[in-house]
Structure 1
Amino acid sequence: MIHIWIANSLVVAVAVGLHYEFLYRLTKFLPRLRIRHRFRIVIGVIASLIAHALQVWIFALAYYYMHRGENWGQLGGAFNGSLTDAAYFSFTTYTTLGYGDIEPTGHLRFLAGIESLTGLVLITWTASFLYLEMRKDWDMQ
């Protein structure tokens, strides 16, 4: 059971670390842009979406390889074993949309649960970051 905890922790740590680096670099990069504030916000939103997509793909790769490995569990239902299906499952899990057409079994259930929690926290973190960036130029009268 310890290998499951370690693997899940590593996947989460990579996703959170990537998110932190994206937001940190955006904090440094956006003020240097010599464009209107509203366009800096658009760049921030696009960069945040890219960061989230990369994090989803980190989880997707974990699902893909764990599904193929032994003693991790399986992704069942409408899952055909492809990396694309793993990414689709990851996107629906990360965003907590969860259609239910692909379902994890065995130890993959733990990764799916922690991905939902991670996605919720990181999406909220992005929303807070973008709010603070937008507020820098708002007239607060």
Structure 2
Amino acid sequence: MANAASGMAVHDDCKLKFMELKAKRTYRFIVYKIEDKQVIVEKLGEPTQGYEDFAASLPADECRYAVYDFEYLTEGNVPKSRIFFIGWSPDASRVRSKMIYASSKDRFKRELDGIQIELQATDPTEMDLDVFKSRAN
């Protein structure tokens, strides 16, 4: 189904892979991109991969959406995890691309039932591990 605001469709695989991440912890992260007026899965991160692998999978000059399963310990040493949605829109990306990603973000995010925390980032410092830790608690 296309988004009326941007004409963007969401490939079924996007929701399917997200459900696998959420329910089965099959992936550590998922990177999505818009291609041919549709949001598709670009990259899946294995459960053994960490934050560095995730950050490295985001292009420096192109927008992306991403989901990251952030695992951490609470102050009482209780293991927890939070599912982050990241709107990646680097300053170096094209203005048209930024507009398309921005206008499609809310509708796409609604398709992924179970997002707990949202981040919008234009450079890596806006989504480093400290940001994840401070937002997760």
Asked if TM exceeds 0.5, the reply is no
**Structure with bigger RCO (C-alpha 8 Å, 6+ apart):** 1
TM-score (norm 2): 0.29
Give the number of the structure whose alpha-carbon radius of gyration is greater: 1
Q: Which has the higher helix share?
A: 1
TM-score (normalizing by structure 1): 0.28
